[in-house]
Structure 1
Amino acid sequence: MSGAFSLINMHYLLGGLVVTIVVSVISILISFVLGTLIGIILFEKVPYFTKTVRFISNTIRNLPLLLLIFFTFFALPKLGVELNAFAATVVAMSVFEASMVGEIIRGGLLSVGADQAEGALSTGMNKVQTLWHILLPQALKKSIPPLISQFISLVKDTSLATAIVLPELTFRSQVIYGQNPNYMIPMFITIAIMYFIINYGLSLLAKWFDKRMV
């Protein structure tokens, strides 16, 4: 059993943890930017454009993330877009999470009182200035806890990339216990602890923001 925790295995497993973290961070940043834009579009109700964005966003949100990962990795090359496992995972997760973030941001904007916008417009601000300086900052502040919760799900969902052989944490644990079935339980426990540390840290951050906003 102790062989499962050999220096070589732990070094290999930590390399997978690095891949998981890098994929998560990049996907979080991209999905946050895209999701914020989607949320604004959904909130502003731009004729025709908003309906199109809402349809696409709703469609993506109701698809399995694994299906999107398969599509970016296996189907896009048929359309002339070649992506390696890392890029395919980032693209799929960013698009999927952006649709989720968009709804969170839209909800945050709706939670800001209409009187805030009316007051800003009455001072001479235009709609863009009102959105950027008054509505969006308040909406983002209110959206922080649900955003962090969504990003916790994103970190856990990186394990789905095992299906396209991305050498992240779960995949590397499979490689290790594939050498010796007796290593399976130790590896499951080890990666569970690693995922727990990352996600529990994020959940504590969400609670901290919650208390700050009360």
Structure 2
Amino acid sequence: MDFAGAYSADNLRFLSDGLWMTLIVAGASIVLSFLIGCVIGVIRYVKLPVLSPVLFVVVELIRNLPLLLIIFFIRFALPEVGVKLGLVTAAIAALTIFEAAMISEIVRGGLTSIDKGQIEAARSSGLSAFQALWHIVLPQGLRRMVPPLVSQFISLLKDTSLAVVISLPELMHHAGIVIGHGYSYTIPILLLVALIYFTVNFVLSLVSRRLEARHV
């Protein structure tokens, strides 16, 4: 094991570039999947005719497919029908589609957990259905969603490593290149990558606990 060689300035700089790409892809996917997942979750919660059943089928289909298959489909199958996405865009699109389906279920579950008596009380006080949803259901539901949402975001961050199969220059991709320069780097580099993932995800979990404690 060559720790000194593995942790050279050039290698650490190269790995930091991969980490930056991981954070960019994860950050964009988190924002997009959260927004889309919230919209889908709300639509399914209010049970809009036609649209809600269609979204149910789409969500269940996506949730029961492996993320790797979605990545391959977007990167290699869509160009066959004329839809060509760049490497980073394809990775973000695949992660967003998959995670939005997961988040929509978290959102729907969080909204459903709110006591219907509160909704009835809000309606009886003169609020419209939309106002009751916006002022009563959503604020309480979002607070309950924080822990599972953060857990899903942590999973998303780890899932960016799957994009190595389409050669996205993220952390694991760069780690593989460094290891390829010398097998004595394998353990040191993998330990460092594990530490990086742990640190980032641990920080996210601490944020989740802080937010949860604030609203208890």
Q: For this pair of structures, how many residues does the alignment match?
A: 214
Match of 1:85 in 2: 87
Q: How many Å separate the matches in 2 of 1:195 and 1:175?
A: 18
Q: How many Å separate the matches in 2 of 1:161 and 1:64?
A: 13
Match of 1:173 in 2: 175
Match of 2:141 in 1: 139
Match of 2:127 in 1: 125
Match of 1:183 in 2: 185
Q: TM-score, normalised by structure 2?
A: 0.97
Q: TM-score, normalised by structure 1?
A: 0.98
Amino acid at match of 1:112: I
Q: Deviations over 1:135-192 (max 9, x none)?
A: 1111111101100000000000000000000000000000001111111111100110
RMSD of the TM alignment (CA)?
0.9
Amino acid at match of 1:83: L
Residue 210 of structure 1 deviates from its aligned partner by: 2.6
Match of 1:63 in 2: 65
Matches within 5 A, 1:25-104: 25-104=27-106
Choose from 8, 16, 19 the match for 1:17: 19
Amino acid at match of 1:101: I
Residue 132 of structure 1 deviates from its aligned partner by: 1.4
Uncovered stretches (5+) of structure 1, i.e. residues with no partner: none
Identity value in percent = 45
Q: How many Å separate the matches in 1 of 2:184 and 2:40?
A: 48
Aligned-partner SS, 2:83: coil
Q: Is the 8 A contact 2:38 2:107 kept in 1?
A: yes
Residue 41 of structure 1 deviates from its aligned partner by: 1.1
Q: Is the 8 A contact 2:143 2:212 kept in 1?
A: no
